[in-house]
Amino acid sequence: MTKLKVIFVCMVVFVFSLVLTGCYNVERARLEAELEQTERERDDLRTRLNAVKQSPEQAGEDVGAPPGQLQQQVDEFIKIRDALQQREDELTKLRQVALTEAQMAQTLMDTFAARLQAEMEKVNELQNELQRAQQAITGLQKKLE
């Protein structure tokens, strides 16, 4: 019965560790994809902002466009850039949290592995004691015959 309990505990620990690892990998992949997209959007907006700052012709605007309109576009680009920078910072923080959680999960898995090893050693010791007891019983039975 004890052996079944140890096997059951081993299976639970193994499944738990697989689930934690899988969740971490999925979350990390999602965050990395979102971070890549945000960085591409930021780079695109920086390129467009530089084009607007250099000259109205490069940005596709009429030379006769009022300076106020160009300034308004520049201000909009700056707001978008700031929002993207904030989003990138949030994603970086989330990534760090995910890494921390993964490290905690790894520590927990290591702890469970150590416990499992200790339990396996106990089971081996108990099996050895059982074999010795069975041998002693067999020896006594032979003496009684």
User: What are the structural domain ranges in the chain?
Assistant: 2-118
DSSP string, the chain: -HHHHHHHHHHHHHHHHHHHHHHHHHHHHHHHHHHHHHHHHHHHHHHHHHHHHH-TTTTT--TTS-HHHHHHHHHHHHHHHHHHHHHHHHHHHHHHHHHHHHHHHHHHHHHHHHHHHHHHHHHHHHHHHHHHHHHHHHHHHHHH-
pLDDT attached to residue 128: 92
133-140, long-range: CB < 8 A, 24+ apart: none
What average pLDDT does the structure give for the chain? 81
Could you tell me the pLDDT band of residue 138, with boundaries at 50, 70 and 90? Answer: very high
pLDDT attached to residue 59: 45
Residue in this structure with the two tokens 């997209």, named with its chain if needed:
37
Could you tell me the pLDDT band of residue 58, with boundaries at 50, 70 and 90? Answer: very low
Whole-prediction pTM value?
0.44
End-to-end Cα distance, the chain = 32
Least confident of 36-50, 64-78, 84-98, 105-119: 64-78
For 86-100, how does the pLDDT look when each residue is reduced to its tens digit (9 = 90+)? 988 988 898 898 888
